[in-house]
Amino acid sequence: MADLVIDAGTAADIAKFEQQLARYLSGELDDDVFRVFRLNNGIYGQRQGGHNQMVRVKAPYGAITAQQLDRLADIAERYSRGWGHLTTRQNIQFHYVQLEQVPDVLRDLAGVGLTTREACGDTVRNVQGCHLAGACPFEILDISPWAEATFRHFLRNPIAQRMPRKFKINFSGCSTDCGQAMFNDVGVVAAARARDDGTVETGFRVYVAGGLGANPHPALALEEFTPREDLLPTIESILRVFDQAGNRDNKLRARMKWLVDTLGFEEVQRRVLKVRHLLLASSSWPGGIPEEVEKFGDEPAGRAAGVEPTAIGQGTPVTLRRPGAYERWEDANVVRGVAKGTVSAYAHAHLGDVTATQLRGLASIQRELGAEVRITNRQNFVFRGLSERQLPVLHARLDALGMATPGAELVRDVVACPGADTCNLAVTQSRGLADAIGTALEEEGLAEVGGLRINISGCTNSCGQHHVADIGFNGAERRAHGTSAPGYQMLLGGYVGEERIHFGDKALRLPAKNAPQAVVRVVRRFNDERTPGESFRSWLDRSGGARAVGATLAELDRFPTPEEGPDFYVDYGETGPYVTEIGESECAT
C-alpha cells in the first residue's frame, strides 16, 4: 500500500526538526534549548548517552492500523534493535535510535499517519482511551471519536506547547473505567442523567488533578455532569487554568495535582468554570459536537440479548475452566456480550515487547480478519469486531507468533516500565524483575490465578503504575553490609475502577532477588484463602491489610553478605556489581 500524503503540519514539523538538528550538531544551538525542542517532538534521551534516543510514537486511544503495524516493524529493524515496546499510555517506543536518523524515522511514520509530536515534553501527551471503546457491552458512549477529537484539537495547539508540566488526558466509556481516568490531569468518564421529561441524556463526568508519581493524588470530579457539547471547552478551560497558574519555578511541583494542593480544589473548580463560561470569545473555542463525533457517531456497542456480558476491569475473576490451549485462551482472552454480535480478543505481548516479525504478523491477521486493533494500557493488543467463527483462526495465527498465551487479567501478565535498561531515572532493572516474577509464578503453578494485577516501576515515578496494582513494586537502592544493592518497595491493594481509586499501601522493602518469592507467597495465600469471586482488595482487608501481610514476609527482607550471596548485589540482567546511576532527568525538563 502506498504511503499517505504527509499533511502540511507534519511536513513542517519534520523540516523544522532537520533544521534544528543541523544547528545542534554544528554547535550553533545550545543543548538545553535543543533538548526542549527534541522532547516536544517525542524524542527522549537514554541513559546510555551519546546520540542514543528513544522515539515515542503516539497511538491515540490505542488505535492502530495494519499499514501502521507494518511500518513500525520496518522502523524496529531499520533504526532500532528489532523490536518495539508498548507503554502503559498506549504509545509505542523504539530505543537506541541514533539522533541523526530521527528525521528519517519521523518521515517514515508520517507516511502512515503516525506522529511523535508532543509524545514527550511539557505538552498534552498521547490522549488515552479505553481499548474496548465501541466494543464494550457496558459502555454508555463510544468515547473513540471524542478521544480522536481531543487529540486533534490539542495537537500543535499554541496553548499546549510550553505548559508548566506535562498534561495527560484519558477517556473511559463507563464507570468500570478500563481507561483509568482516575489518575490523570483530566479523566473523562461517559455518564448519563435523567431529564425532567423522563428521557435520558448522555454526557460525561470530568475528573481533574489526578496523578501517580512519588506523591499520588486521586482525581476529583469537576462537576456532576458535563453535556456533550461542553466537553472540549471544559478540557480546554482546565488546560488554560493550568497554563496560567501552574508552578513554573519548580518542575517537581508543577502538575495539576500540586495546583489543587496550592489553591484548593474549590478555587481550581471556580477558575475552570469561569474560563469555560467565557471561552466562547476565544478564537480556539471548540464548543458543540466535534466533527469527528458527527462523522463517526458515538452510540454505544450495546448488549446482546440472551448473552451474559464478559466481566471486565481490574479484579475480573477470570477462571480457566477447560483443558486445551484454545479453550484456555478463550476463557481468559475473549470478551463477549456486544449487541452487534461481535467479539474481542487479546493478543499477549510479553513485557510489552513486540518484535518486527510479530508486528508484521499482527498486521497480516488484521487484514485477513478485517478486524480493528488497539493497544491496551496493559501493554497488549486487542482485536475487535470479530465473529465467533474467526476466534479459532485468530488463536492459531497468534500462537504461531508466540502471542496466544492466556494472559488477560491473569497474574502472569506482569506490567513493567523500561527501567534501568534505558531510563535515566530508574535505579533498578524492572523488566528483569517482571520476567523473574513471571517465571517464579509459572514454576509454582500460580501464573493463571485470575483477578490479580502486578505492576513494576524502576523508581518512584510510577511509569509502571505500581501504585494502582494489586501487587506493586518500585525500585530503590538498598545498603547492606556496607554495599549498595538493588531493592524494591512492595505495595499491596492498589485499585482503579468504578470511578474510585485506591493507591497501594506499603507492605515491606525487599532485596530485588527476594521479590519473586514474596509474590509467590502472597499469590498463593490469596488463591487459597479467597472466597468465590472475592477481590484481592477485599481479601487484603480481611487479612489485616498490607502491613499485616507484609509482616508474614519479614524474613525475606534479609541480605546475605556479599560473600554468602553475591547475586543479591547484582541486578537482573546485569553482570557486574550493582551501581546506582541516575542521569539528568528529561522527565522534568
pLDDT digits (tens, 9 = 90+) for 414-443: 999 999 888 888 999 999 999 999 999 999
Report the topology of domain 140-296.
Sulfite Reductase Hemoprotein; domain 1 (3.30.413)
| Mean pLDDT value across residues 462-482 | 96
pLDDT, position 589: 39
Domain spans, the chain: 8-110, 140-296, 325-384+394-401, 415-569
Tell me, what's the pLDDT at 555? 98
Mean pLDDT of the chain: 95
Sign of CA dihedral 318, 320, 322, 328: positive
Spell out the residues 6+ positions from residue 465 whose beta carbon is closer than 8 angstroms to its own. Answer: 88, 180, 183, 212, 415, 455, 457, 472
Cell of 242: 493550568
- Single-letter amino acid, residue 270: R
* Cα dist from 123 to 39, 117, 251, 587, whole Å: 9, 9, 13, 12
Q: How confident is the model over 20-30, as pLDDT tens digits?
A: 999 999 999 99
pLDDT score, position 582: 67
- C-alpha dist (Å) from residue 343 to 262, 303, 320, 391, 440: 47, 12, 18, 9, 33
Q: Quick one: pLDDT band at residue 237, thresholds 50, 70, 90?
A: very high
Q: State the pLDDT at residue 576.
A: 87
587 — pLDDT class (breaks 50, 70, 90): low
Cα–Cα distance between 373 and 133 in angstroms, integer? 11
Return the bridge partners of 94, or none: 55
Q: Are 504 and 492 in contact (CB under 8 A)?
A: yes
Range 8-110: architecture per CATH? Alpha-Beta Complex (3.90)
State how far Cα 508 lies from the chain centre.
26
Question: Nearest CA to 169 among 97, 236, 229?
Answer: 236
**306: pLDDT confidence band, cut at 50, 70 and 90?**
confident
Task: Give the separation between CA 535 and CA 311, rounded to whole angstroms.
Answer: 13
**Dihedral in degrees, nearest 10, Cα atoms 474, 479, 483, 488:** -20
The pLDDT score that the predictor gives to residue 585 is 59
Provide the whole-model pTM. Answer: 0.96
- Is the distance from CB of 375 to CB of 354 less than 8 angstroms? no
pLDDT higher than threshold 60 for residue 588: no
**54-63, 74-83, 572-581, range with the lowest pLDDT:** 572-581
Burial of 99 (0-12, 13-18, 19+ CB in 10 A): middle
Residues 6+ apart with CB under 8 A from 246: 163, 164, 165, 254, 255, 256, 258, 259
Which residue has 466535534 as its cell numbers?
Answer: 290
The size of the chain, in residues, is 589
Phi, psi at 170, each rounded to 5°? -140, 145
Predicted local distance difference test score (pLDDT) of residue 2:
87
Quickly count helices (H) and strands (E) in the chain: 16, 23
pLDDT above 70 covers what percent of the chain? 99
Of 295-299, 396-400, 482-486, 576-580, where does mean pLDDT reach its minimum?
Answer: 576-580
DSSP code, position 556: G
The answer on pLDDT for 37 being more than 60 is yes
Q: Identify the pLDDT of residue 524.
A: 98
Chain centroid to CA 149: how far? 20
Taking the C-alpha atoms of residue 568 and residue 551, their distance in angstroms, rounded to an integer, is: 21
CATH 3.30.70.360 fits 415-569, yes or no: no
Per residue in 260-269, pLDDT (tens digit) is 999 999 999 9
Whether the domain at 8-110 and the domain at 140-296 fall into the same CATH topology: no
Distances (CA, A) of 105 to 6, 98, 99, 432: 13, 10, 10, 28
Confidence of residue 318 (pLDDT cuts 50, 70, 90): confident
d(CA 132, CA 172): 9
Predicted local confidence at residue 584, as pLDDT: 62
